[in-house]
Amino acid sequence: MSTQYKRIRCVVNGKSVERMVDVRASLTDLLRNDFRLTSVKKGCEVGECGACNVIIDGECFNSCLYLAAWADGKEIRTLEGLLGPGGELSDIQQAFIDEAAIQCGFCTPGFIMTAVEILESGRAYTDEELRKLLSGHLCRCTGYENILRAVKKTMMKRLEASRGQGGAV
Amino acid sequence: MYDIKALYEAQSVADAVRLRLEHPQAQIIAGGTDVLVQMREGKRAGAELISIYGLDELRGVSLDGEENIRIGSLTSFSHITKDPVIQRYINVLGEAVDQVGGPQIRNAGTIGGNTCNGVTSADSASTLFAWDAVIELTGSQGVRRLPIQDFYLSAGKVDLRPDELQTAILIPRDSYESCFGHYIKYAMRNAMDIATTGCSVNVVLSGDRRTIRRARIAYGVAGPIPMRCPSAEAAAKGKPLTDGTVEAFAAAVLEDIRPRDSWRASKAFREHIAVELARRCLREACELAGGAME
Ligand code: FES
Ligand code: FES
């Protein structure tokens, strides 16, 4: 049987793109192979570890359990999209380094994209809530405490900053 | 790459019905959190898929003309939990589906997919059973509605005809009115796991909040399919809010359920858990309804 393709248009890290995708491809395949966005990791590939996590239309999804064909019309963000124009790290990435929340780094992009969704909600969360929000990720190295601390610290800083600007908290 | 032979993407509900008839051997895929995992495991290798994921008209929660709660079958677990209609009238459903998998899975997984699997461990099922949910199925002959008890035929099998797809789940008005419920999932390991036993109880109290006007209870995994416990419900109906009523209700559960021995848990252990869950859920539901135990 010949391979079935579908033309999709979507926005990846702010850029409009168009591709012919193999309908058998997962979104992980599409992002890694077609766009070289290798922050998107292939871990378990069955939705258990969160290493492949990306943001689609503002919500986190494990891209290993998402058909590339479904990306049509969607806005997708990966870790690469967080970098500043000169390749500067974002605050949450820097916090992971400062708090030693990263060792081998395999789980890190997935965790950070979940952290981005958490931070962009603009809300303050308790430690217990943060643990639950981060529970869709496995890390074999750090023991999670440092990761929690990095997310919490960035959350505090951003809330502080928006308060400083008179923003609603 | 998934081992997919062909992918048919439905453009509308009518189109999905047509695709079902055209490709009887194809599997429906909604959020993909179960079907795609099964494909990875090789269980559905080489399958043809009918994707309904793009049908946005099947997303969202609303009140219909008769004020029944209408949950589109493709509504994700996280959207159910966050929905104001759910929070106001059947908050326990939002709490129950908030215990499915992890956060990313709850963004992808759909309530329709969860019920169409016919898996008793489905976190949503016991609450939907306990609230007399009605399943809406759309096929070539039109729409058919049936109580969720009739939708589940046997373990892993639901009453979905070859031309049909599930389009909504309804909670009738007389089911949710003045009703308060609580769900407890008992599992060896929380989250990222299928429920070992889920228990959902809801009550309507009398005007003075001293008597249980109606109590309903359902379990997932207590039997081959999710099930209600008529003996327990009868034991609480019309009874005062006392410890004695709670005990009678919890004890009566054993007249209804048939737990089995499995590598996950023994029969004796499951029975013990079932009684304890019934007790705690009833107490909590009564408290949510504003009743004080005497
Ligand atoms: S690779 Fe997707 S969840 Fe593990
Ligand atoms: S840093 Fe190695 S898996 Fe998390």
Among B82, B104, B189, the strongest candidate for a mutation testing the A interface, having the largest count of A CBs within 10 A, is B104
Ligand 2 neighbours, Cβ below 6 Å, are A 102-108, 139-142
Reported as a single tens digit per residue, the pLDDT across B68-113 is: 999 999 999 999 999 999 999 999 999 999 988 899 999 999 999 9
Looking at chain A, the domain(s) classified CATH 1.10.150.120 span: 91-164
CA distances from B54 to A16, B9, B29, B31, B67 (A): 20, 8, 10, 10, 27
Cβ atoms A110, A53 nearer than 8 A: yes
C-alpha B119 chain-centroid distance: 10
What whole-number percentage of chain B has pLDDT above 90? 74
- Specify the pairing of strand B157-158 against strand B152-154: antiparallel
CA distances from A125 to A153, B21, B81 (A): 11, 49, 17
Cβ atoms B159, B150 nearer than 8 A: yes
Is A6 in Cβ contact with B7 (below 8 Å)? yes
- Strand, coil or helix: B194: coil
Atom 2 of ligand 2, nearest CA residue:
A104
Q: Tokens 């491809």 identify what position? A: A25
Q: Indicate which atom in ligand 2 lies nearest the CA of residue A103.
A: 1
Taking contacts as CB-CB distances below 8 angstroms, the residues of chain A near B6 are 1, 4, 23
Question: Shortest Cα distance from B163 to chain A (angstroms)?
Answer: 23
**Of A48, A107, A113, which is best to mutate to test ligand 2, by the most ligand atoms within 8 angstroms of its C-beta?**
A107
Taking contacts as CB-CB distances below 8 angstroms, the residues of chain A near B105 are 47, 62, 65, 136
Looking at chain B, the domain(s) classified CATH 3.30.390.50 span: 182-288
Query: A145: which 2 tokens?
Result: 């405490």
Query: A52 and chain B: CB distance < 8 Å anywhere?
Result: no
- What are the residues whose beta carbons fall under 8 Å from the beta carbon of A145, sequence distance 6 or more? none
Class of domain A5-82: alpha beta
- Interface A:B, Cβ pairs < 8 A: 84
pLDDT at residue B191 above 50? no
Cβ atoms B218, B130 nearer than 8 A: yes
C-alpha B167 chain-centroid distance: 15
Question: In sequence order, what DSSP letters do the residues of B111-152 get, joined into one string?
Answer: HHHHHHT--TT-TTHHHHHHTT-EEEEEETTEEEEEEHHHHE
Q: Is the pTM of this model over 0.90?
A: yes
Distance A112 CA to ligand 2 centre (A): 12
Mean pLDDT of B150-155: 88
CA distances from B170 to A44, A63, B16, B58, B145 (A): 36, 31, 21, 13, 9
Query: B81 and chain A: CB distance < 8 Å anywhere?
Result: no
Cβ atoms A26, A47 nearer than 8 A: no
- Strand, coil or helix: B107: helix
Looking at chain B, the domain(s) classified CATH 3.30.465.10 span: 61-172
What pLDDT sits at residue B258?
74
Q: Is A47 in the pocket of ligand 1 (CB under 6 A)?
A: yes
Mean pLDDT, chain B, rounded, equals 91
Which chain A residue has the Cα nearest residue B36?
A: A65
Among A5, A52, A67, the strongest candidate for a mutation testing the B interface, having the largest count of B CBs within 10 A, is A67
Q: Which of these, B227, B271, B52, B276, lies nearest to B129 by C-alpha position?
A: B227
Query: A28 and chain B: CB distance < 8 Å anywhere?
Result: no
| Region of poorest pLDDT, from A81-85, B186-190, B215-219 | B186-190
Is B105 in Cβ contact with A62 (below 8 Å)? yes
- What are the residues whose beta carbons fall under 8 Å from the beta carbon of B111, sequence distance 6 or more? B71, B73, B75, B76, B77, B80, B97, B124, B169
> What's domain B4-51's architecture?
2-Layer Sandwich (3.30)
- Specify the pairing of strand B47-51 against strand B4-9: parallel
Phi and psi based region of residue B54 (left: phi greater than 0; alpha: psi -120 to 50; beta: remaining): alpha
Topology (CATH level 3) of domain A91-164:
DNA polymerase; domain 1 (1.10.150)
What band does B51 get if pLDDT is binned at 50, 70 and 90? very high
Query: B37 and chain A: CB distance < 8 Å anywhere?
Result: yes
Topology (CATH level 3) of domain B61-172:
3.30.465
Reported as a single tens digit per residue, the pLDDT across A87-128 is: 999 999 999 999 999 999 999 999 999 999 999 999 999 999
Taking contacts as CB-CB distances below 8 angstroms, the residues of chain A near B2 are 24-26, 67
- For chain B, the maximum distance between any two Cα atoms, rounded to a whole number of angstroms, is 63
Mean pLDDT of B199-204: 97
Among A40, A42, A61, the strongest candidate for a mutation testing the B interface, having the largest count of B CBs within 10 A, is A61
Helices and strands (H and E) in chain B: how many? 13, 14
What band does B192 get if pLDDT is binned at 50, 70 and 90? very low
Domain B182-288 has CATH 3.20.20.70: no
Long-range CB contacts for residues B15-21, cutoff 8 Å, separation at least 24: B16/B50, B16/B52, B16/B55, B16/B165, B17/B138, B17/B139, B17/B140, B17/B163, B17/B164, B17/B165, B19/B50, B20/B50, B20/B162, B20/B163, B20/B164, B20/B165, B21/B140, B21/B162, B21/B163
Name the residue facing A136 among B32, B37, B103 (closest C-beta): B103
Ligand nearest to the CA of A101: 2
Residues 116-155 of A with CB under 8 A from B: 132-133, 135-137
Query: B4 and chain A: CB distance < 8 Å anywhere?
Result: yes
What pLDDT sits at residue B121?
62
Strand partners, B62: B70
Q: Which amino acid is at B239?
A: K
Q: What is the pLDDT along chain A (169 residues), one digit of tens a residue?
A: 579 999 999 999 999 999 999 999 999 999 999 999 999 999 999 999 999 999 999 999 999 999 999 999 999 999 999 999 999 999 999 999 999 999 999 999 999 999 999 999 999 999 999 999 999 999 999 989 999 999 999 999 999 998 877 655 4
Is A60 in Cβ contact with B103 (below 8 Å)? yes
Query: B43 and chain A: CB distance < 8 Å anywhere?
Result: no
pLDDT at residue B118 above 70? no
Q: Tokens 């043809």 identify what position? A: B48
What pLDDT sits at residue B19?
98
The alpha carbon torsion through B71, B77, B80, B82 (nearest 10 deg) reads: -160
What pLDDT sits at residue B147?
97
Taking contacts as CB-CB distances below 8 angstroms, the residues of chain B near A50 are 102, 104
Q: Which helix (H) or strand (E) holds B102?
A: none
Q: Considering only residues B268 and B143, tell me which one the structure prediction assigns the higher pLDDT.
A: B143
Is A135 in Cβ contact with B51 (below 8 Å)? no
Looking at chain B, the domain(s) classified CATH 3.30.43.10 span: 4-51
